[in-house]
C-alpha cells in the first residue's frame, strides 16, 4: 500500500490535523527539554527537582521528542502539509533540515567528542528555537490560513 | 530501557528508508487536468455529461482531487501518476486537494447531454470556506419526473434542500470539518411528482431559495421520499440555548433532551402537542418525534425568547443513487474526505501547546542567559 494512503487511512483522512498536533507536541517537548537542561546545569532552580531527576527526565523526553519529530518528518516527506507557499516551503525545509543537523551534532558531541560538551546548551537552545521556527512555518500558517 | 535508547535511532533509520510513494492507478481520459505544486490547471473545466476527467500530477508532491460535496475522492495521486473520475451527473463540482485544502481548489462543470439524466447535482454554497454568498447552485432547474437530486454541501454551514410545500426534503446536510475546510456531506431526494416546486434551506430560508420544475410522470408517482435520518437524536439544553439548534431525526424517532444548564428548561413544540415538561438541571426527558416528515420549531417554555430550535423529521429512506446506475458520477465511493477526526478544538490545542512551549523554553533560555551574565563575576 502507498505510504501516504496508509497514513491517511490510519488518521481517518486527517493526516494534516495529526501533523499539526504532533508538531505542537514536539515544540512543547523541546521547551521542556531546555527547562530541564537549565535545571541540571544548575542555571535554574525550576522545576523544583533534583539535578539527577532532571537529567533522566531530559533524556527520556529527548527520546520522545526525537521520535515524534521523525514521525512528523516522515509524513512531511511523503505527504506535504496544508497551506503552502513557496516561501513557506523553503523556510520549512531549511528549518527542518537544520533541526536534524543540530540533532546529529548533539549526538556527535555526546557520543564522540566529549570536550564539546560545553556547547551542548547552545546546541539545545538552537534546537528549541529551530522547532519554534518549524512550528511558526507550519502550525501557525495552518491556523491563520482559514 | 535499552530498547528505549534505540527508539530515536530506529526512527532516524526509518526516515532514511522512506521513498517516494508509488504511482496511483488510472490513466487516459477524454479531458485532462494537470496538477502542479500547488494548483490545478485549468482551475475550471467544462465537460459534457459522461466525460471522464483525468488528473495528472506533474508536481513533485502527492495531491488529491476531492469533491467538496463528498461525492468523489481520488485519494493521493503520486507525482507522475494520474487518477480518473467519470461524471454522469450534470452539475457543478467544487473540488480541492485535501492535502493542501487552502490553496488548491478547482471546478468541474458537467453540462447535461442530449438525453435527460437520471440525477442532477445541486450544490449548497455559503461563505464558510469558498467565500461565496449563501445560495443554491443552480437555483432553478428543470428535470423529468423520477430524477434524483444530489444535494452536496460544499460550504461550511449545515444546509437542507426542502420543498416549500414539504413534498421533499433532504434533511440537514452537514458541512465538512473545520467550517468547510474539508469535504462536506451529501444527500439525495428523488422527485416523482410533476409540477413546479419552490425550495429553500431550512436553516437559511431567506437567503437560500430555488425553483424546481418536474415534468412528465414517473411510475409510482406521489411525493418524493426524504433521505434517511437517525432513529435517535440527543439535544442539549444549556443556559440559554439548545445544542444543536437544528437536529434531524427519523419519523417517529426518539428525541432525548438533556438539561446541561443550571436553570430548568423544556422542549415544547410550537405547533404540536409535544412537550417534555420541566426538566430539572442535570436531568433528561424523551419525546417521540412526529411521524409526518417536516420541520418543527420548538422552544423552551421557560425561556421562550432565548431558546428556540428546529427539529427536522425525515421520512423513509431512499436508495443512494450514487450506488445505482442512475448516477455514476463518481469513481470512488462517496466519502467525506475530511473525515471525522479532530476538528475546531485543534486550533485551541495547538495555540495552548505553543504558549506552554514558549513559556518553558523561554524560562530555560533565560536561565542560561542569566548564568552566562553572572559567570564572569
Q: What is the pLDDT of residues A64-95, one digit of tens each?
A: 999 999 999 988 887 655 555 678 878 888 99
Task: Sort out which chain A residues have CB atoms less than 8 A from B335's CB and list them.
Answer: 13
**Model pTM score:** 0.46
pLDDT > 70? residue B43: yes
* Min distance B64 CA to chain A CA atoms (Å): 11
The model's pLDDT over A15-51, given as tens digits with 9 standing for 90+, comes to 777 888 999 999 999 999 999 999 999 998 889 999 9
CB contact under 8 A, A36 and B365: no
pLDDT at B7: 52
With an 8 Å Cβ cutoff, are B350 and A21 in contact? yes
Q: How far is A16 from chain B (nearest CA, A)?
A: 7
Q: How confident is the model at residue B156 (pLDDT cuts 50, 70, 90)?
A: confident
SS3 readout for A22-53: HHHHHHHHHHHHHHHHHHHCCCCCCCCCCHHH
Kindly tell me if the per-residue pLDDT of B18 is higher than 50. no
Cell of A94: 531549511
Q: What is the pLDDT of residue B330?
A: 34
> Which residues, in sequence order, are CB contacts of B24 under 8 Å at separation 6+?
A2, B74, B75, B76, B77, B78, B81, B82, B83
Across the interface, whether the CB atoms of A14 and B339 are under 8 A apart is answered yes
pLDDT of residue B136: 93
Instruction: Give the N- to C-terminal CA distance of chain B in Å, as an integer.
Output: 42
Q: What percentage of residues in chain B have a pLDDT greater than 90?
A: 12
B169, HSE (Cβ side, Cα atoms, 13 Å): 26
- State the best of B23, B333, B334, B367 to mutate against chain A, taking most chain A CBs within 10 Å: B367
Q: pLDDT tens digits, residue range B119-144?
A: 889 999 988 766 788 899 999 888 88
Tell me which of A1, A12, A13, A46 to substitute to probe the interface with B (most B C-beta atoms closer than 10 Å).
Answer: A13
pLDDT in tens, B261-302: 766 788 988 878 888 888 877 888 988 888 777 778 888 877
Q: Quick one: pLDDT at residue B329?
A: 36
Predicted pLDDT at B325: 35
One DSSP character per residue, B178-237 reads HHHTS---EEEEEE-S-EEEEEE-SSSTTT-EEEEEEES--TT-SPPPPPP--SEEEEEE
So what's the pLDDT on residue B168?
Answer: 86
Give the pLDDT of residue A20: 86
Chain B nearest CA to A94, separation (Å): 17
ipTM for the complex shown: 0.84
Q: Where are the alpha helices (DSSP H) in chain A?
A: 3-10, 15-40, 51-78, 86-111, 120-144
The reply to whether residue B350 touches residue A20, judged by beta carbons under 8 angstroms, is yes
- What's the pLDDT at B109? 92
When pLDDT is cut at 50, 70 and 90, the band that residue A106 belongs to is: very high
Chain A residues whose CB is inside 8 A of the B18 CB are 3, 74, 77-78
Contact A12 B339 (CB under 8 A): yes
Q: Which of A101, A102, A97 is nearest to A73 (CA)?
A: A97
In tens, the pLDDT along B161-173 reads 998 888 888 888 9
> Sign (positive/negative) of CA torsion B176, B178, B181, B182?
negative
Sequence-ordered strand ranges (E) for A75-144: none
CB contact under 8 A, B340 and A143: no
CA B195, B201, B205: angle at the middle one, nearest 5? 100
| Of B12, B341, B353, Cβ closest to residue A17 | B341
Residue in A18, A82, A128 nearest the CB of B101? A82
| pLDDT of B266 | 85
Nearest to B367 among A23, A38, A66 (CB): A38
3-state helix, strand, coil in chain B (%, to 5): 15, 35, 50
- Distance between alpha carbon B151 and the CA centroid of its chain, in Å? 11
Contacts of B14 in chain A (CB under 8 A): 70, 74
At B54-110, the pLDDT tens digits run 999 888 778 889 999 888 888 888 888 888 888 888 999 999 988 888 778 999 999
Chain B CB contacts of A140 below 8 Å: 354
Instruction: Write out chain A residues lying below 8 Å of B341, CB-based.
Output: 11-14, 17-18
Tell me which of A34, A106, A145 to substitute to probe the interface with B (most B C-beta atoms closer than 10 Å): A34
A12 vs B contacts (CB less than 8 Å): 339-341
Reported as a pLDDT band with limits 50, 70 and 90, residue B175 is: confident
Q: Is the pLDDT of residue B305 over 80?
A: no
| Three-state DSSP state, A60 | helix
E strand or H helix that includes residue B267: none
pLDDT band at A129 (very low <50, low <70, confident <90, very high): very high
Structure confidence at residue B28 as a pLDDT band (50, 70, 90): very low
Q: What average pLDDT does chain B have?
A: 76
Q: Least CA distance to A11: which residue of chain B?
A: B341
Q: Backbone phi, then psi, for B67, in 5-degree steps? A: -65, 130
For residue A118, give the DSSP letter.
G
Q: Determine the pLDDT at residue B306.
A: 66
Taking CA atoms, what residue in A is nearest to B361? A31
Amino acid at each position: 500500500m502507498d505510504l501516504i494512503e496508509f497514513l491517511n487511512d490510519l488518521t481517518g483522512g486527517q493526516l494534516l490535523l495529526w501533523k499539526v498536533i504532533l508538531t505542537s507536541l514536539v515544540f512543547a517537548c523541546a521547551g521542556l527539554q531546555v527547562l530541564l537542561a537549565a535545571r541540571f546545569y544548575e542555571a535554574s532552580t525550576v522545576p523544583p527537582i533534583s539535578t539527577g531527576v532532571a537529567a533522566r527526565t531530559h533524556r527520556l523526553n529527548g527520546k520522545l521528542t526525537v521520535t515524534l519529530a521523525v514521525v512528523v518528518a516522515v509524513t512531511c516527506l511523503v505527504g506535504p502539509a496544508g497551506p503552502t507557499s513557496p516561501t513557506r516551503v523553503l523556510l520549512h525545509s531549511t528549518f527542518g533540515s537544520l533541526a536534524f543537523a543540530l540533532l546529529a551534532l548533539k549526538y556527535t558531541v555526546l557520543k564522540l567528542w566529549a570536550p564539546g560538551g560545553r556547547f551542548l546548551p547552545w546546541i539545545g537552545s538552537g534546537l528549541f528555537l529551530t522547532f519554534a521556527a518549524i512550528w511558526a512555518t507550519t502550525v501557525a500558517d495552518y491556523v491563520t490560513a482559514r | 530501557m535499552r530498547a528505549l535508547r534505540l527508539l530515536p535511532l530506529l526512527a532516524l533509520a526509518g526516515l532514511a528508508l522512506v521513498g517516494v510513494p508509488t504511482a496511483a492507478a488510472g490513466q487516459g481520459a477524454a479531458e485532462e487536468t494537470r496538477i502542479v505544486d500547488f494548483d490545478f490547471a485549468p482551475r475550471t473545466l467544462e465537460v459534457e455529461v459522461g466525460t471522464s476527467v483525468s488528473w495528472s500530477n506533474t508536481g513533485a508532491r502527492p495531491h488529491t482531487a476531492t469533491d467538496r460535496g463528498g461525492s468523489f475522492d481520488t485519494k493521493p495521486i503520486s507525482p507522475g501518476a494520474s487518477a480518473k473520475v467519470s461524471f454522469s451527473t450534470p452539475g457543478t463540482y467544487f473540488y480541492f486537494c485535501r492535502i493542501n485544502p487552502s490553496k488548491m481548489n478547482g471546478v468541474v462543470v458537467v453540462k447535461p447531454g442530449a438525453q435527460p439524466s437520471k440525477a442532477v447535482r445541486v450544490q449548497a454554497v455559503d461563505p464558510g470556506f469558498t467565500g461565496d454568498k449563501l445560495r443554491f447552485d443552480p437555483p432553478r432547474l428543470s428535470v423529468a419526473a423520477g430524477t434524483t437530486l444530489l444535494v452536496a454541501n460544499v460550504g461550511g454551514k449545515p444546509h437542507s434542500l426542502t420543498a416549500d410545500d414539504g413534498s421533499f426534503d433532504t434533511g440537514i446536510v452537514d458541512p465538512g470539518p473545520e467550517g468547510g475546510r474539508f469535504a462536506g456531506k451529501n444527500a439525495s431526494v428523488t422527485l416523482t411528482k410533476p409540477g413546479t416546486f419552490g425550495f429553500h434551506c431550512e436553516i437559511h430560508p431567506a437567503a437560500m431559495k430555488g425553483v424546481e420544475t418536474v415534468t412528465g410522470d414517473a411510475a409510482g408517482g406521489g411525493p418524493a421520499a426524504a433521505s434517511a435520518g437517525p432513529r435517535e437524536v440527543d439535544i442539549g439544553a444549556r443556559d440559554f440555548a439548545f445544542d444543536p439548534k437544528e437536529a434531524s431525526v427519523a419519523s417517529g424517532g426518539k428525541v432525548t433532551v438533556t438539561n446541561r444548564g443550571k436553570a430548568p428548561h423544556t422542549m415544547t413544540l410550537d405547533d404540536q402537542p409535544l412537550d417534555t415538561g420541566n426538566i430539572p438541571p442535570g436531568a433528561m426527558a424523551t419525546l417521540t418525534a412526529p411521524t409526518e416528515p417536516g420541520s418543527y420549531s420548538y422552544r423552551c417554555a421557560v425561556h421562550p425568547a432565548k431558546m428556540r430550535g428546529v427539529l427536522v423529521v425525515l421520512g423513509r429512506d431512499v436508495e443512494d443513487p450514487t450506488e445505482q446506475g442512475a448516477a455514476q458520477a463518481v469513481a470512488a465511493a462517496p466519502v467525506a474526505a475530511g473525515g471525522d477526526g479532530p476538528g475546531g478544538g485543534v486550533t485551541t490545542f495547538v495555540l495552548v501547546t505553543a504558549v506552554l512551549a514558549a513559556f518553558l523554553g523561554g524560562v530555560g533560555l533565560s536561565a542560561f542567559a542569566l548564568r552566562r551574565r553572572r559567570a564572569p563575576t
